[in-house]
Structure 1
């Protein structure tokens, strides 16, 4: 048993001796393949390294034909070696030639070898090479052997990273060296425009020492690093800008929970026992976490990977005696593959202009924190790091979801003017926040705002909104590892109602599923997630979940009015079933003598076109209707709104769309049921003008669009626009946008 436990340490020492020994990098790599093959009892050990253009070149081998070295090349995704590189995950195959991705290379002589185990050589979170062992006899390598080879690959990354084998500049994209301006598309996640210089986020400290000399010394260093890292996290949560409540506060509390996780700490100490240094042990365990979480079907685990990366980075920086974050000497835009939420707080807020991520999603922790702090952020800028150099001038246009790299001074000046104009307009809109949203001919238009975070509620007073027409309740569920407790949900809803100060708030019940998966529900891949098992469909299949949320909402609204609406209703039967559950919960409050809402208003989202042909039955049951134009329009045109090829294919200002909305508005008016538009359509002044012309008197829109829409309303004559639009509904035109713009210009409507 003792001999078995000492084998990894002996292998690491042997590899370290070879790497520190005499000879060129190629000669040392050749010797390393021999040592690894002997230790793994393998007939073949080969090392492939990445060259420019994602080409994998055979650099060294023990067992294959030597003439194949520097001649055999595979692309990422080609063959088993290319598959390992493409997935950045190990591949363990008993019979290589039977695998569908097997690619035969006759010059290697590998046809006699059956079993195959390949692992990625990872450097700076990118695949730098592939380490492979093979045997003649078909066999499945054990989990211990796979782990051992992954540890060896970590050590090889040190030699690969030296630059002696492959010049790092060779792999750099040509655009990175060109210095020419370019535009990189991304996905807008936190609104705003920013100008600044590119600063690359220091994602990881490079581990240069792998083999431990004294295990007890390494453990003591690691324990001290853990204590320092936890003190840093505690100080961050105490920052005044974090406040005492809100989703971003919950996110940092979850981050703190990870920092204090004893299981994570124990696994790192166990890695030291295998002979690794403290730094290499942190790296080793994080690589294990990364593989497990990336491969997991659980979207919550995949999202939390950046949190664990953040904590691992903090440990590595502490062990290296380096501080967290970088000094910013001027307005800067941080570029990172991904970031944890606490890493954002490491930067000087006065000079942090914006953030660009290669990865990221609208529900990742760093995005929610950036939104709460008012920091513009764009995600999904694939490979931006390959095109940008540190110090490059950048423009982050969060409104259009793009980054302008090395823009000319004239373009910078244009954006500076745009930012200045936006600031001046924002100041003007704040000054106008108390002006009534009344048209020139005296028609009152109610302007409500959409919200999804507790921090959004600050806009209610700042912008003079009439209330919250849509509060999305799913964010709290998406950032929690488990179903939020009843008290936690109730606390959020009560805080939202308190912030509203008596103004109406409409809570949309959970719209989860599809692309908004939560960790406490089994997630299955769907071909069409937007039209799959989501929203009310989940709620009716899991009624306990809906009852639990309704109970929290009713408790939060004790002594006040409560308005709720159900999402994704496709037929009246669904609404009846959901309404029945809500009324039973109200009866429960009364039966138990609990203090609940004094009045309950129950409405529905109209997002599925089929519901519009059931309005006569529906309007007898609902207290209000909200037209959700975002989902409605993609179902209306059978057009995925996230598909860039279709973004401009269909127009919301087409006669068909306007006629449909007009039909819904007329039916609601006849039944005396209030109707609101609560999608992005209502937040654009031109589209809002058209909606008002169709008879809508209530809009619920993004907070930042309230000012421009209010100004448009105050310049509009409703009777004139109604007559104009109704005459246009039978037009055969693809879109009425140009004609509406002409109308606004001719009638002095302020757009």
Structure 2
């Protein structure tokens, strides 16, 4: 490399000296550009910082007109500097002015310079600015010079991200610590104000410049060897030796950890003068910047694997032997957990008294972690792209579980606005609590039973808090999903008995194990399926694995000794499936009595109506069952052939579509004709406008999340069912009416002053 001081290592040593000087951040930046220009024999060195408004501002220069500092700006994508920022890739040109992206800024005096090299200033894959060198002569900069400039850009990135750089004259702030607003999908209602806790905490690199490159190489090689060995050990252990998701992740780790190209890039970064930790950060930041711009979902998925592996390597460097060990997170007050994805067991590991919210890059409203979040009463937002890259541990953050919005490092006015919202919600909750003791009876005297959806013991106190009439859906699979191995009969029995006791004599409907599809048990072998939502799951799995179903039914029967027991079977597609499941219950009851155990005082059996084929067997099934529960989430998914976990199509159809309401009304009518209780227990019933519509088409029992009981009850107490039915029935009968009733129903609610907002 051509340079007065001998190359990148000398440059980094000089940088370390500059960083240690007791000067302002702006003065330090001014000295850095002088140092780089001298080292690289460049006539110009400039730093452009990306601002919160998306423009790039000249923050420091050696060689250009210094009066242009803080005056010259360009849009991201404008000119060669904008091109570097937009592409997050270096640009190296011997004749910059002939490039189609060249943009001339007369105030800078750069028209005399021909060669140009610009590198992005990256942190965690996010572009914070651009570092540029220029010369009058036509020359191409060497790979070693590009490497040196990229390495230097890391140090500048930390200055920008730390918020040290002042904004002169009240100008627009740098992007590094900017307030960020992003939108996702609301998973659990509520508003959470707090500070970021990363579920997989990133190791923060503080020392970038190495004292001894050879010593750093040895540290890197040792950490890589330890990491590879620990992955091999985990893959050979029994709990992941089977095929499955955990093994697939570890196999991906092993593939990347042994990739020679990755190892070589890490070594090359160390040889430029970086510490081993800074080299890992540098290589991964470059990789993340490139892969974030890929549209291929497979490549983006691999980025998550690489991020995770890089962080584990950093842990190995800072704490040898701990690379593959679970990260330990100290939970502050008002914690908001941010993660790529998370299972329900992991969420339950956090101290609930300190947990205020959850933000996920993945996750849907029907995922089990979302269900647990609702049970814990914390705000949750999912499908927030690059959530873990937008935040730093400790950042102030607001999670709006109503709108699906997340505010990172919010401005004071946003904080005040949400503080007001929290106070308003608290007052509203007080109003709902005042309704707790009232029966849910509409203005024209129609009684409606409001029940709870539950799945954990933590849900049960909500019966008393909300005044609910019981539990309309107890998801038994959550116990299986949070356990490390298949729960024994005794453990299941203890849970079901505790639930019945906590219900205090109010009815509880236990749904038998509903796993398969997107609900995977880590200890159960799962065969790959082309379409798991339509595959081997729920009652199909139970009937094919009768020992599993028998064990669960046996635990329920024992737990309900002398009490009423309600059992319902999920995803029943035919009358024959119910008959077979019923025979399992009858055999287990006979077995119980044979062995001298006290049986339940009454056993009531039901089915989940969620497979469309059952809509054409409703009369037959209604004669056999004691009750029916409509699973509106799955029924809608199957009826419209829409994968509710797919963000592109999940919201394509409306729950208030005429076709769906006709199907739901048909179930209610058949239940009424046969004297069979019908409850709707999907998310649809938790929204006041939808709940009112359900009552209008014949539903008298609904099961909702604890947070929804108050809003739904308040809406129903003000409802005139006969009046609303007179509006709905003709619309459902019309051959040429609207496809969705949402607009008409919303207008009706607004005219009557009904509370339909959650």
TM-score range relative to shorter protein: 0.5 to 0.7
Look up the match of 2:621: 618
The equivalent position to 1:639 in structure 2, one of 625, 630, 642, is 642
**Pairwise CA distance, 1:432:** 1.7
Conserved 8 A contact 1:204-1:316: no
SS at match of 1:396: strand
| Cα separation, partners in 2 of 1:687 and 1:616, compared to 1, 3 Å | same
Look up the match of 2:738: 733
Look up the match of 1:192: 190
The equivalent position to 2:245 in structure 1, one of 293, 299, 303, is 299
Matches within 5 A, 1:113-192: 164=151, 167=154, 177=175, 182-186=180-184, 188-192=186-190
Look up the match of 2:747: 742
Q: Deviations over 1:552-585 (max 9, x none)?
A: 1111111111000001011111111111111111
Matches within 5 A, 1:266-281: none
Look up the match of 2:509: 506
Look up the match of 1:76: none
Matched, 1:668 2:667: no
**Pairwise CA distance, 1:658:** 1.7
Conserved 8 A contact 1:190-1:367: yes
Taking the aligned partners of 1:504 and 1:535, their CA distance within structure 2 comes to: 23
RMSD (Å) for aligned C-alpha atoms:
4.8
Look up the match of 2:525: 522
The equivalent position to 2:473 in structure 1, one of 470, 476, 480, is 470
**Pairwise CA distance, 1:367:** 7.5
Conserved 8 A contact 2:681-2:704: yes
Taking the aligned partners of 2:376 and 2:684, their CA distance within structure 1 comes to: 26
Matches within 5 A, 1:435-514: 435-514=438-517
SS at match of 2:509: strand
SS at match of 1:626: strand
**Pairwise CA distance, 1:316:** 6.6
SS at match of 2:460: helix
**Pairwise CA distance, 1:382:** 3.6
Conserved 8 A contact 1:188-1:399: yes
SS at match of 2:623: coil
| Cα separation, partners in 2 of 1:365 and 1:166, compared to 1, 3 Å | farther
**Pairwise CA distance, 1:299:** 3.4
Conserved 8 A contact 1:440-1:715: yes
Look up the match of 1:593: 596
| Structure 1 range deviating more: 397-406 or 459-468 | 397-406
Q: Deviations over 1:466-523 (max 9, x none)?
A: 0000001111112223221111111111111111011000000011000111134321
Taking the aligned partners of 1:363 and 1:687, their CA distance within structure 2 comes to: 17
Matched, 1:691 2:678: no
| Cα separation, partners in 2 of 1:643 and 1:171, compared to 1, 3 Å | farther
Taking the aligned partners of 2:235 and 2:175, their CA distance within structure 1 comes to: 32
SS at match of 1:433: coil
Q: Deviations over 1:126-185 (max 9, x none)?
A: 9xxxxxxxxxxxxxxxxxxxxxxxxxxxxxxxxx99984873667999999365554334
Conserved 8 A contact 1:52-1:170: no
Look up the match of 1:558: 561
| Cα separation, partners in 2 of 1:644 and 1:337, compared to 1, 3 Å | closer
Aligned residues: 546
Conserved 8 A contact 2:562-2:599: yes
Q: Deviations over 1:196-255 (max 9, x none)?
A: 45566782557999xxxxxxxxxxxxxxxxxxxxxxxxxxxxxxxxxxxxxxxxxxxxxx
SS at match of 1:565: strand
| Cα separation, partners in 2 of 1:392 and 1:362, compared to 1, 3 Å | same
Matches within 5 A, 1:62-73: none
**Pairwise CA distance, 1:601:** 0.4
**Pairwise CA distance, 1:648:** 3.6
| Cα separation, partners in 2 of 1:364 and 1:286, compared to 1, 3 Å | farther
Q: Deviations over 1:349-381 (max 9, x none)?
A: 877643434467899998788666544344553
SS at match of 1:194: strand
Conserved 8 A contact 2:8-2:148: no
Taking the aligned partners of 1:536 and 1:161, their CA distance within structure 2 comes to: 62
Taking the aligned partners of 1:495 and 1:162, their CA distance within structure 2 comes to: 64
**Pairwise CA distance, 1:540:** 1.3
Look up the match of 1:203: 201
Taking the aligned partners of 1:702 and 1:508, their CA distance within structure 2 comes to: 16
Look up the match of 2:54: none
Taking the aligned partners of 1:340 and 1:617, their CA distance within structure 2 comes to: 39
| Cα separation, partners in 2 of 1:355 and 1:316, compared to 1, 3 Å | farther
Taking the aligned partners of 2:452 and 2:525, their CA distance within structure 1 comes to: 33
Look up the match of 1:569: 572
Q: Deviations over 1:573-619 (max 9, x none)?
A: 11111111111111111222212212110000000111011112111
| Cα separation, partners in 2 of 1:664 and 1:326, compared to 1, 3 Å | closer
TM-score by length of structure 1 reads 0.62
**Pairwise CA distance, 1:389:** 5.4
Look up the match of 1:38: none
Q: Deviations over 1:444-486 (max 9, x none)?
A: 1100010111111111111110000000111111222322111
| Cα separation, partners in 2 of 1:360 and 1:409, compared to 1, 3 Å | same
Taking the aligned partners of 1:730 and 1:340, their CA distance within structure 2 comes to: 44
Conserved 8 A contact 1:199-1:334: yes
Conserved 8 A contact 1:173-1:387: no
| Cα separation, partners in 2 of 1:56 and 1:540, compared to 1, 3 Å | farther
**Pairwise CA distance, 1:423:** 1.2
Taking the aligned partners of 2:182 and 2:687, their CA distance within structure 1 comes to: 25
Taking the aligned partners of 2:750 and 2:529, their CA distance within structure 1 comes to: 46
Taking the aligned partners of 2:749 and 2:531, their CA distance within structure 1 comes to: 39
Look up the match of 1:253: none
Taking the aligned partners of 1:526 and 1:599, their CA distance within structure 2 comes to: 39
User: Structure 1: which 5+ residue stretches go unaligned?
Assistant: 1-21, 29-50, 58-123, 127-159, 210-273
**Pairwise CA distance, 1:194:** 1.7
Matches within 5 A, 1:40-439: 164=151, 167=154, 177=175, 182-186=180-184, 188-198=186-196, 203=201, 205=203, 283=227, 286-288=230-232, 297-299=243-245, 325=329, 333-336=336-339, 353-358=356-361, 374-388=377-391, 393-439=396-442
SS at match of 2:510: strand
TM-score by length of structure 2 reads 0.62
Taking the aligned partners of 1:314 and 1:717, their CA distance within structure 2 comes to: 65
| Cα separation, partners in 2 of 1:360 and 1:643, compared to 1, 3 Å | closer
SS at match of 2:445: coil
| Cα separation, partners in 2 of 1:355 and 1:283, compared to 1, 3 Å | farther
